[in-house]
Structure 1
Amino acid sequence: MTDSHYRMPVTINNEDDNNPSNPSAGPVMTDLIVQRMSRRTALKGLLASAAVSAIGVGTGFIARPASAAMSLSFGEIPHALDENLHIPAGYTGKAILRWGDPIVAGAPDFDAETRDAAAQAQQFGYNNDFIHFCPLPEGSAASDHGLLVVNHEYTDTHMIFPGFKDAKEALAGATAEMAAYEQAAHGLSVVEIKKEGNSWAMVPGSKYNRRITLATEMEIVGPAAGHDRLKTSADASGKKVFGTMNNCAGGWTPWGTILSAEENIHQYFGGDPAGTAEAANAKRIGIKGEPSYAWGKFDARFDVTKEPNEPNRFGWIIEVDPYNPDAKPVKHTALGRFKHEAATTVINSDGRLVVYTGDDERFEYVYKYVSNGTFDPGKGRSNSDLLNDGTLHVAKFDAEGNVTWMPLVHGQGELTEANGFKSQADVLIEARRAGDLLGATKMDRPEDIETSDKTGKVYVVLTKNDKRKADDLNPVNDRAENKWGHIIEMVPPMTDGKADHAATTFTWSAFIKAGNPGDAAEGAAYGGQVTDAGWFANPDNVAFDASGRLWIATDGFPDFGVHDGLWVTETEGENRAVTRHFLGCPRGAELCGPAFTPDGKTLFVSIQHPGEEKGANFANPSTRWPDFKDGVPARPSVVAVTKDDGGEIGA
């Protein structure tokens, strides 16, 4: 989901992980933004903002008039970069779940020095990312009692285990015990929490509390289930897989389950894919025989020389039932296989289910899935079948402001046996290559995609693309080596007064072009003037609150000398695309998974990989947040933010 996800965890592979694996000649998103901004008048506000920056607003940006700040009453925090968590005056932030906290009944307490895989499988995992609050009782709008479902994306070996100078040394010195521990630290956690007064705490030993790890049995369903390319020596059926990994952003369904996105699965597989039947497929997903983890030395399924089909069993969207600890998680192949970021669901105006998801790598694509059947509230969990019968589409953007959603269907267009696709299963397993052949638009790292319940508009977050060359652009917008990122707004057509998310044509425009508006060379564009602290770079996760405001989390802002954190803006009216700074992370950390309770009075955020900076390791993190105790490492944690007067966050 993030650039730090591309930093993880072996620094010697940084450039390899950052190198895109898309060789196709499809259109490039920044080219289209350039043409779009030069041809359309709809972006006058953005262009005016950029022009103001160009004539010398400088670093002392002009603050918005008081009347423009009416819906956001908090005192904006300044940019900073230190070891602490920063939130506005009048708010409290408490770490309620930390790496290693016991969550399953009988689990041991966290031990700062000891790493035991069996213990970790019962404790809160590492590098928490996506968060969703599920009210208790189920079906209610309770905001003081519920379940938190949290993704655990990846592990930083040298930050977890003592005795290693850096990630390179940790990779070389890895043991079977270390590999087992890391596998137990991946996956998801489901934890019951309760609010007493204005403070949240975990409910110890709850019947709901559980861990989902790489040892958890899961079912594979949909068009690719049972296909020969999903069969391994351990599973001749091709319908059963153990575990999930690199779970980044996610989503939730109208029937009460959680969707979790498997993202950078390439880095876990060792061995040499060359010479196997999956060599080209492995290359397109980024598997090069240079893993960031040593798992393949101790677990044959992570050695592609021995098990070339095992990677095909990862890179999907999984579904988890948080309310039923006995329910087996499911991997849905109809949504395609790639480096998924997010899985945002919408019930369309005609009752069909639509799921938006991005492929988080430079020059990759934006997708949506449209079900054939319609949602029936009376069917409960059976609505999950909607995720197995439908059509995956990939997006193509044009310079006139249109988005065309192209179906990825076997036998249509280039998706034929002549091009190596013998069935729909092949199309879905190699969704990236299918998008290549259809000429989908290459994007600048598509991360989160969220929809507004208020307007029906869709927001696509593009974190950055510093690999883009200058000859990809034209003089209208010199965002070569796009280090800052941007957010695109897509607008579905209206049918009977409702947004038609299943339509095959949308319109699009640039919502925010991130960066410092005080530096004209960056080409930043907001909806108006922002304060010194209001600008940001590298947008990643976004979330809407109950009032329709868009909250924007960042990943990579420390490259500009500023902490990652959380900004907020309106999407309509005079404050549209004008951002204010609400929260700042401790050193080395990025912000993930912003999520609100239904009443908007609690904001949950993930503080991921705190203390991880150049030269840092277990013994010498750049912060020991949140415990701040000698000998205790920095611990990725979920923070609950509340307003001291008990009111709505931000208002």
Structure 2
Amino acid sequence: MDRKDIIQSTEYGNKAEAFEAFDDIPTNPHLGRTIGDVIQQRYGRRDFLRGSLGVAATASLFGATALTAPRQVAAASARDSRYVFDELQWGNDVDHHIAEGYNADILVRWGDPITADAPDFDVMNQSAEAQAQQFGYNNDYVGFAETEPGRGMLCVNHEYTNEEVMFPGLGRQDRSDFEGMTADLVDIEMAAHGGSVFEIVKGADGKWAINRDNPANRRITANTPMTLDGPAAGHPRLRTSADPAGMTVLGTINNCAGGMTPWGTYLMAEENFHGYFWSDVLDAEGKPDISAQPEAASMDRYGVPGRWYAWGQYHDRFNIDKEPNEPNRFGYIVEVDPLNPDAMPIKHTALGRFRHEGAETTIAADGRLVIYSGDDNRFDYQYKWVSADPVTKANSHFGSSLLSDGTLYVARFDADGTVQWLPLVHGQGPLTAENGFASQADVAIDTRLAADALGATPMDRPEDAQPGPNGTAYLMLTNNSRRAADQTDAANPRAESRFGHIIEIREDGGNHSAEKGTWSILVLCGDPKVEEVGAMWNPETSENGWFGSPDNCAFDNAGRLWISTDQGSNWGRTGKSDGLYALETEGDLRGHSKLFFRCPVGGELCGPYFADESRTLFLAVQHPGTDGTKDFAGFERDSTFEDPATRWPDFNPNMPPRPSVVVVTREDGGVIAG
């Protein structure tokens, strides 16, 4: 199935669903030894498909007690769990739901003013000027820079836009080659991308609210000036007619997950940047023809141009026929100083160029900064960055050399249970001029090609990766329905993996900067009652607790892992809306999961982020009322602006669904799940 077939298919109810399906088609040609092959070699594919493992494998997943302990009732599991809350009932409806004893309050919605001068939201009369001062669309990552107890700067990514539920009377644009889009609508979309930074304050009643009067409040958009640093800054491949020095980029796009540095700056990960680029040069089948492009090999590996948006019709920099180097200026980690609106954001090219899902940081046992980041595409790779120097008071600041001087690694998972971190360093191994890498700049720009050359392990869509205590890290592999039976391996064990899995890494010596570690599977997601799914959970996991398509994750102050899900249009396979789950990682209940929060229909849960000593949890619900609405009983059609599956969170007949950030607190003000 190619791009045109997917766009015209009735299976996908909105543009986002269609292009996510198109993105399922891998761009990696090196699939001889995928993570599925490695898992098969380590554990044995037949055991996984039976939904049961041998004694040794089961013990490695869940601990020895799981082999002999009788199945307990849910109440006993709750008593023994480190997560103290009554599990939520699974389901899917027009509203969000939270476990008993908790509040889930809407903090901010698409269009809400966040600056002192911002106009009130008028959904029928939108403008780019207004949107540039209002909360953006499709909120994904949420971070918090505390300035004092009960006060700080909230930092939120805005990943993409759904014009069919965003603009009145427009409908699906990809099917009509964007015939309804105008320059004004494109400019609103560009203003709705990027991020929002604004102060929030906790009141005497325990509720959080926006302080619009803080002069540091601002929007970061697809037009915000940004500088470049690292090996690719100023390189000829990053120079354009508007920026002949190759040092200043306008904007950031498709900001999915992210991270916060130990010094309180905000990291925005640029994910599916390829989709924003346009070309007027098409082949006989209507596909972009890049054969004459000087950057053709790089464009092909990154999927440029995707033609997901009409921006290139109105802005030359997004048209590769006019600016072939512009795509090379996206796909990086962007650092923002939340407290200083005058500080130009920095794109750190040393951290590599790929479809970054997350930029989660930790300080290793040896004192160095480590950042984990996945490349969210079928059959792409898991990376980590290790700074050259340890973190000190002197270098803990915005624009620190810790983000430009160090080594980027890519992971190779072996069937013996080891993971090798392979350095992406020019001149080492195959990364030489003879193989197309003239300098470290080429390695930074073409990180995917460099990782190909090193023989990294193709993964099942590596999404968020969260460093944990004692040198552990947890990798969210959301799904890979394109994996064939002969493409499985030890770390990606299931063909047509529609539900995903989670890998635990234990770095050697408990040190996140180590170049070697061991890996195991924490859970294989999906319904454990369906044998052919091959799901694996702790046997105490209830019907409410299992999930599919893990996406983002976070640790609370007690070192407990929380998982949010993104099933996209496939939630009909589980019947469950996306939500937040508490997942045990150690002890007799290792692999035991409990449902805590669930989204309204068609929404994806992002974040999560704990603050206020784990008394506050920020969650982001994006694209409510859009994904998979044909499977929503009683609605069973595509959502539009005029006819959405839900009008969450306003439930106003004159307002479409609005992506929003939710604040979770305990009714008694205590620690969440404590």
Q: TM-score range by the shorter chain?
A: over 0.9
C-alpha contact (below 8 Å) 2:38/2:491 kept by paired residues: no
Secondary structure at the counterpart of residue 331 of structure 1:
strand
C-alpha contact (below 8 Å) 2:381/2:411 kept by paired residues: yes
User: Which of 592, 595, 598 is 2:606 aligned to?
Assistant: 592
User: Which of 108, 131, 134 is 1:97 aligned to?
Assistant: 108
1:632 aligns with 2:645: no
Structure 1 residue 30: Cα displacement: 1.5
C-alpha contact (below 8 Å) 1:463/1:540 kept by paired residues: yes
Q: What are structure 2's unaligned runs of at least 5 residues?
A: 1-11, 45-52, 282-289, 630-637
In 1, the alpha carbon distance for the partners of 2:107 and 2:533 equals 38
1:296 aligns with 2:312: yes
In 1, the alpha carbon distance for the partners of 2:13 and 2:617 equals 27
1:575 aligns with 2:592: no
Partner amino acid, structure 2, of 1:399 = A
Q: 1:569 to 1:485 in 2, by over 3 A?
A: same
In 2, the alpha carbon distance for the partners of 1:67 and 1:157 equals 43
Structure 1 residue 596: Cα displacement: 0.8
Partner amino acid, structure 2, of 1:195 = K
C-alpha contact (below 8 Å) 1:46/1:525 kept by paired residues: no
Structure 1 residue 474: Cα displacement: 8.4
Instruction: Tell me the equivalent position of 1:263.
Output: 271
Q: CA RMSD in A?
A: 2.4
In 2, the alpha carbon distance for the partners of 1:73 and 1:350 equals 34
Partner amino acid, structure 1, of 2:251 = G
User: Which of 544, 548, 552 is 1:533 aligned to?
Assistant: 544
Instruction: Tell me the equivalent position of 1:281.
Output: 298
Partner amino acid, structure 2, of 1:472 = Q
In 2, the alpha carbon distance for the partners of 1:267 and 1:463 equals 20
C-alpha contact (below 8 Å) 2:14/2:164 kept by paired residues: no
Instruction: Tell me the equivalent position of 2:286.
Output: none
Instruction: Tell me the equivalent position of 2:388.
Output: 372
Bigger CA drift: 619-628 or 345-354?
345-354
In 2, the alpha carbon distance for the partners of 1:360 and 1:474 equals 18
Structure 1 residue 571: Cα displacement: 1.5
Bigger CA drift: 31-40 or 297-306?
31-40
Secondary structure at the counterpart of residue 172 of structure 1:
coil
Secondary structure at the counterpart of residue 400 of structure 2:
helix
Structure 1 residue 95: Cα displacement: 0.8
Secondary structure at the counterpart of residue 94 of structure 1:
strand
User: Which of 76, 95, 109 is 1:84 aligned to?
Assistant: 95
Instruction: Tell me the equivalent position of 1:214.
Output: 222
Residue deviations 1:251-288 (CA, integer Å, cap 9, x gap): 11112211110000011000143311111111110114
1:223 aligns with 2:236: no
Residue deviations 1:453-497 (CA, integer Å, cap 9, x gap): 3x3211011000000012224899972100010000000111xxx
Structure 1 residue 64: Cα displacement: 6.2
Structure 1 residue 12: Cα displacement: 5.2
Instruction: Tell me the equivalent position of 1:184.
Output: 191
Structure 1 residue 315: Cα displacement: 0.1
Structure 1 residue 382: Cα displacement: 6.1
Q: 1:66 to 1:365 in 2, by over 3 A?
A: closer
In 1, the alpha carbon distance for the partners of 2:177 and 2:232 equals 36
Q: 1:459 to 1:177 in 2, by over 3 A?
A: same
Instruction: Tell me the equivalent position of 2:9.
Output: none
In 2, the alpha carbon distance for the partners of 1:478 and 1:79 equals 27
1:467 aligns with 2:482: yes
Structure 1 residue 44: Cα displacement: 1.9
Residue deviations 1:62-96 (CA, integer Å, cap 9, x gap): 53625753532211111111100010111111111
C-alpha contact (below 8 Å) 1:369/1:392 kept by paired residues: yes
Q: 1:40 to 1:492 in 2, by over 3 A?
A: farther
1:171 aligns with 2:178: yes
Structure 1 residue 169: Cα displacement: 4.3
Q: What are structure 1's unaligned runs of at least 5 residues?
A: 1-5
In 2, the alpha carbon distance for the partners of 1:546 and 1:471 equals 42
Instruction: Tell me the equivalent position of 1:107.
Output: 118
C-alpha contact (below 8 Å) 2:105/2:664 kept by paired residues: yes
In 2, the alpha carbon distance for the partners of 1:80 and 1:649 equals 22
Q: 1:42 to 1:259 in 2, by over 3 A?
A: farther
Structure 1 residue 42: Cα displacement: 5.6
In 2, the alpha carbon distance for the partners of 1:456 and 1:503 equals 9
Partner amino acid, structure 1, of 2:578 = D
Structure 1 residue 294: Cα displacement: 0.2
In 2, the alpha carbon distance for the partners of 1:391 and 1:489 equals 22
Q: 1:149 to 1:13 in 2, by over 3 A?
A: closer
Instruction: Tell me the equivalent position of 2:578.
Output: 564
Count of aligned pairs between the two proteins: 629
Counterparts of 1:128-147 in structure 2, within 5 Å, are 128-137=139-148, 142=149, 144-147=150-153
C-alpha contact (below 8 Å) 2:265/2:398 kept by paired residues: no
Secondary structure at the counterpart of residue 339 of structure 2:
coil
In 2, the alpha carbon distance for the partners of 1:145 and 1:48 equals 40
C-alpha contact (below 8 Å) 1:352/1:374 kept by paired residues: yes
C-alpha contact (below 8 Å) 2:601/2:624 kept by paired residues: yes
In 2, the alpha carbon distance for the partners of 1:93 and 1:508 equals 36
In 2, the alpha carbon distance for the partners of 1:8 and 1:340 equals 23
Partner amino acid, structure 1, of 2:572 = D
In 2, the alpha carbon distance for the partners of 1:425 and 1:379 equals 24
C-alpha contact (below 8 Å) 2:353/2:446 kept by paired residues: yes
In 2, the alpha carbon distance for the partners of 1:515 and 1:281 equals 36
C-alpha contact (below 8 Å) 1:99/1:125 kept by paired residues: yes
Instruction: Tell me the equivalent position of 2:287.
Output: none
Structure 1 residue 13: Cα displacement: 4.3
Instruction: Tell me the equivalent position of 1:360.
Output: 376
Residue deviations 1:143-190 (CA, integer Å, cap 9, x gap): x21111000011111111111232434823111001100000000101
Partner amino acid, structure 2, of 1:154 = Y
User: Which of 525, 532, 543 is 1:521 aligned to?
Assistant: 532
In 2, the alpha carbon distance for the partners of 1:228 and 1:70 equals 56
Structure 1 residue 40: Cα displacement: 9.2
Residue deviations 1:10-63 (CA, integer Å, cap 9, x gap): 5554543221111113521122122222499663247789xx99xxx9xxx953
Counterparts of 1:6-405 in structure 2, within 5 Å, are 9=15, 13-38=19-44, 43-45=57-59, 63=74, 65-66=76-77, 68-137=79-148, 142=149, 144-167=150-173, 168-169=175-176, 171-196=178-203, 197-271=205-279, 272=281, 273-288=290-305, 290-381=306-397, 384-405=400-421
Partner amino acid, structure 2, of 1:450 = Q
C-alpha contact (below 8 Å) 2:36/2:489 kept by paired residues: no
Instruction: Tell me the equivalent position of 1:411.
Output: 427
Residue deviations 1:597-622 (CA, integer Å, cap 9, x gap): 14111110000000113511111111
In 2, the alpha carbon distance for the partners of 1:475 and 1:306 equals 44
In 1, the alpha carbon distance for the partners of 2:529 and 2:16 equals 35
Bigger CA drift: 514-523 or 9-18?
9-18
Bigger CA drift: 70-79 or 104-113?
70-79
Q: 1:7 to 1:394 in 2, by over 3 A?
A: farther
C-alpha contact (below 8 Å) 2:36/2:490 kept by paired residues: no
Partner amino acid, structure 1, of 2:88 = I
C-alpha contact (below 8 Å) 2:33/2:489 kept by paired residues: no
C-alpha contact (below 8 Å) 2:382/2:411 kept by paired residues: yes
Bigger CA drift: 297-306 or 596-605?
596-605
Residue deviations 1:430-465 (CA, integer Å, cap 9, x gap): 000111111100000000011113x32110110000
In 2, the alpha carbon distance for the partners of 1:35 and 1:438 equals 21
C-alpha contact (below 8 Å) 1:81/1:558 kept by paired residues: no
C-alpha contact (below 8 Å) 1:10/1:171 kept by paired residues: no
- Give identity over the alignment, percent: 49
Bigger CA drift: 621-630 or 611-620?
611-620
1:647 aligns with 2:660: no
